[in-house]
């Protein structure tokens, strides 16, 4: 047995050796030691710590993998809020000029004045984390969360090899380093290949990941740190949280660039493309350079970030709406790639919309491995003449929805007999067999199966259970999918036939969760007519229209039996909405669902039709933004709509008033730009009480 004194010296020396070689390998990409030799050192340290457990410290290289499985994430209140930065909406190089102009204006610099110095960084597409070090040792890691409170993910973060467990060199008493956990593209592809092999081998609960960001974020936010340890995660440092002052032993950095160099000295990787720039011209040059390099980068980015370099100027510029004036994220246009169409299928949405979808040979575009792309509708598919076997241009429109932009000319020029048939939308729903109809003036075909159609079932139930509908807490996506797939729910009334025993027997459903859901279902039976109408998911019937219908008719039966002419008498109900209502309630199976729901005990107060007295705010449009002192947005919206006002979601020239609370954002900027009257909650209540 090794003596304690000898073991202590050897363990300390091994720890330093392993930390040095790990830094060379993972951060500097300049290994000096073969993997086998590194493994021998690692195993020797493990043996020493097993023999002398008191030598096993929290920053030991052996403590990166494993750890106990947590029961839940602890909440962490950030000492310094993790605020997001503004996104520049102009994705052309002009966005850089606009940011420079805003900074110069805020600083009061003349046109011929000195250029502002910036730091230009990449906008990494991963999960932002805050790393807290005390006396140089990592003690806590937390996600951004809502900016004020995040989740403690220390155990998972300790498995990321590029994050030092102990800072190199001199460390202040306290410092918080912020950055992005991400996954390299090659590591992501290798991970997915392993996942496909597991699926092919019949392993359950395995899946292929959508993109590197989701795979990285999902690994960090796991209660079992071994999952994070099994995935190849990387890290870049770029920001600062709490830090000891220079008088307390902290670094004396005057610029953002100085801090990045300090991070690197402490052992963190920083973006190699990071550079300083002077003025708008050099910002534009950086934006264009990275745009050319973007596809060749080993990791995903969704833009670049510009920050005023001087910390003193950052303090002068300050913040607006919880966003720093001294920084901006400048994104790029959606990317395009070529791939082959393997097939064309028709998907059915929640409201019955039939959408043709091109099944593609997998292609990496816009940060995602794409295998499906929308063709929107029959007219669009025919206009682009997309056929099976064609080589097509695929784009992630708005970095969200993959779409087929067009057919490669060489592919479209092939003889007709060498191409697939022209796409034609089926006239029957491919799921339930109901008629698929196209309304006059519409481009989309829709299934008339309503609540009867199986393809619409899951989304119909989720919509019915949503907060602004029946508000059934606990009935989320995964549970609905499980209930429908197990054939426990076929129509909405089946929800109210679920019992505690059935729910408690489901996978990952604890007794307490089952009881809570049973209680929530029972509580949802007492509702309101507008909520019930909205919850049915009738096409074109939103919350506002449901309220108007309830006020106008007073009773559900009156709405169900109303003619199109009678429906047109309702405020804001036009021919399209009236026809949609009649089509819905003319389907016997939809009426049957309503009657069954009533039989299950759903009830609401009904009354006589509302009087048609003029309302004080009729014809006025309001928009609400920010956090109001005493009312929630929904409460304020209800009060305004009761008084006859229309409450819109965005500011336009037609907006009469913007009700602004704390932390009002871009809507306030837009209102000021358009000259819209801005009022607070107190003034809104005064208007509601006394009129305009």
Dihedral angle computed from the Cα positions of residues 376, 380, 385 and 390, in that order, rounded to the nearest 10 degrees: -20
No. of H helices and E strands in the chain?
A: 25, 24
Instruction: Please name the residue that has the structure tokens 């999918």.
Output: 481
- Of the residues 40, 68, 75, 123, which is catalytic? 123
The reply to whether 123 belongs to the active site is yes
Measured from the Cβ of residue 76, the count of other Cβ atoms closer than 10 Å reads 20
The CA distances from residue 322 to 77, 81, 82, in Å, are 17, 9, 10
Instruction: Please name the residue that has the structure tokens 């000891």.
Output: 244
Closest of 435, 446, 460, 448 to residue 597, by C-alpha: 460
Structure tokens at 601: 């005990």
Measured from the Cβ of residue 37, the count of other Cβ atoms closer than 10 Å reads 11
The Cα 460–Cα 446 span in angstroms is: 15
- Alpha helix ranges (H) inside 52-184: 94-107, 154-157
Residues in Cβ contact with 169 at an 8 Å cutoff, skipping those fewer than 6 apart: 265, 266
Radius of gyration of the chain (CA): 30
CA 197 to the chain's CA centroid: 29
Instruction: Please name the residue that has the structure tokens 């592809």.
Output: 189
The Cα 217–Cα 121 span in angstroms is: 21
Q: Angle, nearest 10°, between helix axes 588-599 and 575-585?
A: 70
The Cα 380–Cα 22 span in angstroms is: 54
Give the per-residue SS3 of 473-502: CCCCHHHHHHHHHCCCCCCHHHHHHCCHHH
Which residues are annotated as catalytic?
Answer: 123
């Amino acid at each position: 047995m090794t003596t304690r004194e000898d073991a202590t010296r050897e363990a300390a020396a091994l720890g330093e050796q392993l930390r040095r070689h790990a830094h060379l390998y993972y951060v500097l990409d300049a290994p000096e030691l073969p993997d086998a030799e590194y493994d021998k050192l690692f195993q020797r340290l493990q043996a020493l710590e097993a023999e002398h457990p008191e030598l096993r410290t929290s920053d030991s290289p052996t403590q990166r993998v494993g750890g106990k499985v947590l029961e839940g994430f602890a909440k962490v209140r950030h000492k310094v809020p993790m605020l997001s930065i503004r996104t520049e909406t102009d994705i052309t190089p002009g966005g850089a000029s606009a940011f420079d102009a805003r900074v110069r204006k805020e600083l009061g610099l003349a046109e011929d004045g000195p250029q502002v110095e910036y730091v230009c960084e990449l906008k990494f597409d991963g999960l932002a984390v805050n790393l807290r070090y005390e006396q140089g040792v990592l003690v806590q890691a937390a996600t951004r969360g809502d900016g004020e409170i995040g989740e403690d993910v220390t155990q998972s973060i300790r498995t990321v090899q590029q994050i030092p467990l102990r800072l190199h060199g001199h460390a202040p008493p306290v410092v918080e380093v912020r950055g992005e956990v991400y996954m390299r593209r090659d590591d992501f592809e290798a991970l997915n290949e392993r996942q496909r092999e597991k699926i092919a081998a019949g392993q359950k609960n395995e899946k292929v990941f959508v993109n590197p960001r989701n795979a990285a974020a999902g690994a960090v936010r796991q209660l079992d740190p071994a999952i994070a340890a099994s995935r190849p995660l990387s890290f870049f440092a770029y920001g600062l949280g709490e830090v000891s002052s220079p008088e307390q032993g902290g670094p004396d950095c005057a610029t953002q660039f100085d801090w990045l160099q300090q991070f690197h000295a402490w052992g963190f990787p920083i973006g190699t493309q990071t550079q300083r720039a002077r003025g708008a011209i050099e910002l534009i040059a950086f934006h264009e350079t990275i745009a050319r390099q973007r596809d060749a980068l080993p990791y995903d980015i969704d833009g670049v970030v510009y920050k005023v370099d001087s910390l003193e100027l950052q303090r002068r510029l300050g913040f607006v709406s919880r966003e720093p004036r001294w920084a901006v994220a400048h994104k790029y246009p959606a990317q395009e790639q070529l791939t082959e169409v393997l097939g064309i299928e028709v998907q059915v949405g929640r409201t019955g919309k039939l959408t043709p979808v091109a099944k593609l040979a997998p292609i990496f575009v816009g940060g995602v491995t794409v295998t499906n792309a929308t063709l929107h509708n029959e007219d669009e598919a025919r206009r682009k003449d997309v056929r099976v076997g064609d080589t097509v241009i695929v784009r992630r429109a708005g970095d969200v929805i993959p779409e087929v932009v067009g057919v490669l000319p060489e592919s479209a020029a092939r003889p007709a007999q060498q191409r697939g048939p022209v796409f034609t939308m089926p006239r029957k729903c491919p799921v339930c067999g109901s008629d698929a109809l196209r309304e006059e003036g519409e481009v989309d075909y829709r299934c008339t199966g309503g609540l009867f159609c199986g393809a619409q079932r899951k989304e119909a139930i989720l919509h019915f259970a949503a907060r602004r509908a029946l508000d059934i807490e606990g009935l989320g996506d995964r549970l609905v999918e499980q209930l429908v797939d197990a054939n426990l729910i076929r129509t909405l009334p089946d929800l109210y036939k679920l019992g505690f025993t059935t729910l408690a027997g489901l996978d990952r459903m604890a007794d307490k969760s089952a009881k809570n859901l049973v209680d929530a279902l029972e509580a949802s039976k007492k509702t309101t007519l507008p909520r019930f109408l909205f919850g049915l998911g009738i096409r074109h019937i939103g919350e506002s229209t449901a309220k108007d219908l309830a006020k106008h008719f007073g009773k559900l039966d009156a709405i169900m039996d109303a003619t199109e002419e009678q429906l047109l008498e309702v405020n804001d109900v036009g021919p399209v909405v009236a026809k949609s209502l009649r089509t819905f309630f003319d389907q016997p199976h939809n009426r049957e669902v309503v009657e069954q729901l009533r039989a299950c005990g759903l009830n609401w107060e009904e009354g006589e039709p509302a009087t048609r007295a003029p309302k004080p705010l009729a014809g006025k449009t309001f928009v609400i933004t920010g956090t109001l002192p005493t009312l929630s947005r929904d409460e304020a919206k209800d009060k305004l709509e009761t008084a006859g006002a229309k409450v819109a979601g965005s500011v336009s020239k037609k907006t009469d008033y913007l009700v602004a609370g704390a932390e009002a954002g871009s809507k306030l900027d837009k209102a000021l730009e358009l000259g819209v009257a801005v009022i607070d909650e107190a003034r809104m209540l005064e208007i509601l009480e006394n009129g305009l």
